[in-house]
Structure 1
Amino acid sequence: MDPPVLVLDRPVPRTGRTTTTARSMAHDFLHHAAQVRAPAQPEYTDAVLMVVTELVITNAIRHTDGSAALHLELHDDHIEIRVTDTSPKPAGPRLPRTDGTGGYGWHLIDRLTTHTHTEPTPQGGKTICAHAPDKNNSRALARSHPGEGMGGCGLALAAARDTLGDNQPGGGRSTTAAMYD
């Protein structure tokens, strides 16, 4: 794999506006990434922001007690998304529930990304890694239904419908990389 051309590596706060902070960091990164090379598809930004939100908020903040970090790398044909937390418990799909307790996040992540896996950290936690592809023929984005009138939500809900069925509610860091701080 080619070395990344742009890297973001930041801790995610557990207090305050965690969702806004994580999405803002990712949005700023994507803005800088678009100056390096334009995304192949307009839905790309929405997909990356949805994955960051699910990995940071749903997994790292909601399901663990310790610190979390967001790491993004711009590569030629994808953005690598890595979220590290202190829990050794691997993330994975759960049965979606209609009572508001969740179960949709991992299905969305799986639908919007490729090469998703979990790596243990030396400190006893884990890093979840996912590639958000950026090619017109990509498996993940080709399966989505962009333009359903709701921006990123439309993309995410379409992915959920495709993954879960229409009955479900809601339908190493490179030293050669330019550091984005």
Structure 2
Amino acid sequence: MSNEPHVVVVDSPYGDSAAARGAAADFLSQHCPWADLDAVLLVVSELVANSIRHTPGWWRLRLTTQNETLVVEMEDASPELPVARPPDFGGGGGFGWPLVLRLAGHVEVGPLPHGKRVRAVWQRSASSSVPSPV
């Protein structure tokens, strides 16, 4: 794997949850075959869905990989930080944020001048090594 960073970006006017998942799946197959595809796609889906549902404005999803690290960042226009809440089995949500926290290797949340950023990070482990093509 090259030390040069690889990046894909999906912006709100040009994407939705399906577009974000598709871009993430393509990105992982090209640059992070070692990553747990299902876990990353669930995190992407939840971050995009939360931004669409709770943000009255723009959002931007960015996936980056460099030096055995995968970073999924969601920036949006809402200054409200995500919080865990009791699940509502009647359809009111409460399941997504705990999933993000459980599936990602590390999660950071921080304010931006006009919103916030959620960053989920995965490190490649020795057990996730994919054999090199011969």
Q: TM-score scaled to structure 2, two decimals? A: 0.83
CA contact (8 A) 2:10 2:20 kept: no
Counterpart Cα distance in 1 of 2:42 and 2:125: 18
Q: Which position in structure 1 is the counterpart of 2:48?
A: 56
Q: Is 1:118 matched up with 2:109?
A: yes
State the AA in 2 paired with 1:52: V
Q: Please give the per-residue CA displacement for 1:24-76, whole angstroms capped at 9, x wherever unaligned.
A: 11112112214xxx31x6xx01111110000011x210111101101111133
Counterpart Cα distance in 2 of 1:26 and 1:71: 9
Structure with bigger strand share is 2
Size of the aligned set, in residue pairs, is 126
What percent identity do the matched residue pairs reach?
36
Unaligned runs of 5+ in 2: 129-134
Unaligned runs of 5+ in 1: 139-181
Q: Which position in structure 2 is the counterpart of 1:5?
A: 5
Q: TM-score scaled to structure 1, two decimals? A: 0.63
Q: What SS does the aligned partner of 2:84 have?
A: coil
Q: CA deviation at 1:4?
A: 5.8
State the AA in 1 paired with 2:31: A
Moved over 2 A (4+): 75-78
Q: Please give the per-residue CA displacement for 1:123-155, whole angstroms capped at 9, x wherever unaligned.
A: x200111113432569xxxxxxxxxxxxxxxxx
Counterpart Cα distance in 2 of 1:31 and 1:85: 26
Counterpart Cα distance in 1 of 2:40 and 2:72: 8
